[in-house]
Amino acid sequence: MPEHRTTPIIVFDVNETLLDITTLNPLFKRVFADAAVLREWFAQLILYSQTMTLSGLYRPFGELAAGSLKMLASIHGKTIIDADIDELKQRMSTMPAHADVVPALKRFRDAGFRLVTLTNSASSASPTALELAGLSEFFEHSFSVESVKKFKPAPETYQLVADQMAVERSELIMVACHLWDTIGAQAAGCKGALLLRPYNAMLPTAGVPEPDYIASELSELAEQIIA
């Protein structure tokens, strides 16, 4: 008899993978006179979110985002006022989708895949960032790590999705433009699909899990997975 194959559930990271964080550039250009500080801020945000998890601590991602901005301002000799934090929150909640996202999601949906998201960001009231970006219709569920109070790539975050979707972790494919996310997913028993957006790349080091799928466009990644 032919082997029964279960269609995997596609789990999407949100920030930078689906939503374009470069829309925060004007804030960093104004405050730091250099839009490139956005990348320094985002790296520090990820570093300290993971540090909190490794230390057994938790604060919402948005609080860490604001704190990281204040920390960088101190390092660069700049001043942050409440209006800057308000602008950061507003811009983070209204990031648009990358141009390749909707066509790829339609391709997945037409091929019969179940789609969900898993984000470090806390849940928010409607309209959510995905709703405002016109993406929410594609997803069966939107999961936040706040449920387990640990940030990705902690294994509990991927297990959360498996538990809620009533599947094994091996039936999940984590799509992210951050290698640390696909590494965590693969270490937890999921498959990893790396989207090579700008400022993201492979880590050519022995022992680092290579993603099961790699592409520079989400539509190309969708074709690989569907095939």
Q: What is the pLDDT of residues 119-166, one digit of tens each?
A: 999 998 889 999 999 999 999 999 999 999 999 999 999 999 999 999
Mean pLDDT of the 33-58 span: 98
Q: 7 falls in which pLDDT band (50, 70, 90)? A: confident
Express as a percent the part of the chain with pLDDT over 90: 96
Helix crossing, 101-110 with 218-226: angle to 10°? 20
Query: What is the structure's pLDDT at 126?
Result: 86
Query: What is the structure's pLDDT at 4?
Result: 47
pLDDT at 188 over 60: yes
Alpha-carbon gap, residue 126 to 136, rounded angstroms: 11
pLDDT at 2 over 80: no
Alpha-carbon gap, residue 112 to 90, rounded angstroms: 34
Query: What is the structure's pLDDT at 6?
Result: 76
Measured CA to CA in angstroms, residue 25 lies from 40, 170, 223 at distances of 12, 37, 31
Query: What is the structure's pLDDT at 1?
Result: 40
> Which residues lie across from 192 on neighbouring strands?
174
Cβ contact 131:93 at 8 Å:
no
Q: 3 falls in which pLDDT band (50, 70, 90)? A: very low
Q: Which fold has domain 9-19+95-226?
A: Rossmann fold (3.40.50)
> What's the CATH class of domain 21-93?
mainly alpha
pLDDT at 51 over 50: yes
Q: Which long-range contacts (CB under 8 A, 24 or more apart) does 43-46 make?
A: 44/68, 44/71, 44/72, 46/178, 46/180
Structural domain boundaries in the chain: 9-19+95-226, 21-93
Q: Render pLDDT for 73-109 as a digit per residue (tens, 0 to 9).
A: 999 999 999 999 999 999 999 999 999 999 999 999 9
Residue 56 backbone zone (phi > 0: left; psi -120 to 50: alpha; other: beta): left
Query: What is the structure's pLDDT at 5?
Result: 58
pLDDT at 68 over 70: yes
pTM, 2 dp:
0.95
